[in-house]
């Protein structure tokens, strides 16, 4: 005579437990991790399918946009966010600035042996909250574990898929002489928040990362009817690098007005202290918009009426230039180049 024992598996010890190699083995431990942590927080009808890939409905008319972004930020938790919400926002923004409506995300986790479940849970919850708020579900994912010392806690790669409706495509190739350049808010907040948090500096500051999903702001901007030619999120390398990329892609030159650039006093002071230039410091919740001259004010008003664009400003203009230089009239009254970022200003900021 036999008695079937009650189906009981001891749950993951989220509070005190740590990732071990078995959690990436593909076996029972991994299944448990997925079920009790990833699926618990990120769960949705597509993830629940439980197959190797997600079966998604046809997105309707238009073209697909796909973007991917790996996140290795250090520290994992910083004022204003963490690697979890950052990995959601970053990829949504990459899809959104193409003119697309972001629809789905995938998430790949590389975990380091010994990483605390408590930290992982915090990160996954933050991802879930960001994805929920944005209305873009994580529909498929992957987990790998590497030996202690071969990773740095957790790395997250997210891929986003969206659909761009016919005629709504945007590209960095479309800036034209005469266009006006706008930014959606203050520059350098994310990079300096990370920098301030790094232990080797140890200065206290009220600088908070701006990490945010921008598709809502973009929808509001497009609803204004303004003739937008280019959108881009100035992440690594900051505004300077992003504008140089666009200038090269579009074959134009640009002239910025230093006095018009929005930078918070705290970021300005921290940059001054460390010898950094806010123009090269990363943003994770800001965008650059380039639009036809006659629509600039209309677009600015639309940006300012959205919470993520409250500090939006017109910062420069596009002109013909065979050398594709981005230049700036300094607050001092002189002129200078705003060059590509050279070397690395701040490593591992996203």
| Contact assessment for residue 246 and residue 183, using Cβ atoms and an 8 Å cutoff | no
Residues 191-210 that bind another protein (CB under 8 A): 200-201
The count of residues in the chain is 350
| Distance of closest approach, residue 76 Cβ to another protein, in angstroms | 21
| Contact assessment for residue 108 and residue 157, using Cβ atoms and an 8 Å cutoff | yes
Which of these segments, 80-88, 153-161, 209-217, 261-269, binds another protein (CB under 8 A)? 261-269
Residues 267-306 that bind another protein (CB under 8 A): 268-269, 272, 274-275
Stated as kind and residue range, the H or E segment containing 158 is strand 154-164
| Distance of closest approach, residue 176 Cβ to another protein, in angstroms | 21
Which of these segments, 7-15, 155-163, 182-190, 262-270, binds another protein (CB under 8 A)? 262-270
| Distance of closest approach, residue 331 Cβ to another protein, in angstroms | 5
Residue 149 within binding range of another protein, rule CB under 8 A:
no
Supply the DSSP string of 22-87, one letter for each residue.
GGGSSSHHHHHHIIIIIIHHH--TTGGG-SSS-------SSEEEEEEEEE--SSSEETTEEHHHHH
| Distance of closest approach, residue 186 Cβ to another protein, in angstroms | 14
Alpha-helical regions (H) of the chain: 28-33, 40-42, 83-96, 117-134, 189-197, 215-223, 238-250, 265-274, 296-304
Nearer to another protein, 19 or 207 (CB): 207
Nearer to another protein, 57 or 343 (CB): 343
Q: Which among 252, 310, 250 is positioned nearest to 286, based on CA atoms?
A: 310
Nearer to another protein, 133 or 339 (CB): 339
| Distance of closest approach, residue 320 Cβ to another protein, in angstroms | 14
Distance CA 16, CA 9 (A): 17
Other C-beta atoms closer than 10 Å to the C-beta of 81 total: 24
| Distance of closest approach, residue 96 Cβ to another protein, in angstroms | 31
| Contact assessment for residue 91 and residue 68, using Cβ atoms and an 8 Å cutoff | yes
Residues in the interface with another protein (CB under 8 A) total 23
Residues 79-138 that bind another protein (CB under 8 A): none
| Distance of closest approach, residue 265 Cβ to another protein, in angstroms | 6
Q: Which among 123, 114, 278 is positioned nearest to 195, based on CA atoms?
A: 278
Residues 30-89 that bind another protein (CB under 8 A): none
Quick note: the x/- pattern for another protein over 301-340, rule CB under 8 A, is ----------------------x-x-x--xxxxxxxx-x-
| Distance of closest approach, residue 210 Cβ to another protein, in angstroms | 20
Distance CA 115, CA 136 (A): 27
* Contact partners, residue 236, CB within 8 Å, separation at least 6: 282, 349, 350
**Contacts with another protein, residue ranges (CB under 8 A):** 200-201, 259, 265, 268-269, 272, 274-275, 323, 325, 327, 330-337, 339, 342-343
């Amino acid at each position: 005579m036999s008695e079937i024992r009650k189906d009981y598996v001891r749950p993951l010890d989220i509070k005190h437990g740590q990732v071990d190699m078995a959690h990436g083995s593909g076996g029972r431990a991994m299944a448990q991790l997925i079920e009790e942590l990833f699926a618990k927080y990120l769960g949705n009808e597509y993830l629940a399918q439980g197959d190797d890939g997600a079966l998604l409905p046809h997105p309707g008319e238009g073209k697909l946009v796909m973007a991917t972004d790996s996140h290795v930020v250090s520290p994992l938790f910083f004022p204003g966010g963490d690697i979890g919400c950052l990995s959601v926002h970053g990829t949504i923004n990459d899809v959104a600035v193409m003119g697309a409506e972001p629809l789905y995300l995938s998430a790949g986790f590389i975990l380091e042996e010994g990483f605390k479940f408590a930290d992982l849970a915090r990160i996954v919850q933050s991802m879930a909250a960001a994805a929920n708020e944005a209305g873009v579900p994580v529909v498929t994912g992957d987990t790998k574990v590497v030996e202690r010392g071969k990773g740095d806690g957790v790395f997250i790669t997210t891929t986003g898929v969206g659909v761009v409706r016919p005629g709504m495509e945007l590209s960095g190739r479309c800036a034209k002489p005469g266009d006006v350049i706008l930014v959606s808010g203050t520059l350098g907040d994310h990079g300096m928040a990370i920098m301030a948090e790094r232990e080797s500096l140890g200065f206290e500051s009220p600088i908070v990362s701006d990490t945010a999903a921008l598709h809502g702001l973009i929808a509001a901007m497009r609803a204004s009817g303004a003739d937008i030619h280019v959108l881009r999120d100035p992440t690594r390398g900051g505004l300077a690098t992003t504008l140089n990329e666009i200038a090269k892609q579009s074959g134009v030159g640009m002239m910025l007005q230093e006095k018009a650039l929005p930078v918070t006093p705290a970021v300005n002071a921290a940059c001054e202290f460390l010898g950094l230039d806010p123009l090269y410091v990363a943003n994770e919740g800001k965008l650059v918009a380039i639009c036809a001259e006659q629509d600039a004010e209309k677009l600015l008003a639309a940006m300012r009426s959205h919470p993520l664009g409250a500090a939006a400003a017109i910062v420069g203009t596009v002109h013909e230039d065979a050398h594709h230089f981005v230049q700036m009239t300094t607050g001092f009254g002189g002129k200078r180049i705003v060059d590509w970022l050279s070397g690395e200003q701040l490593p591992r900021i996203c």
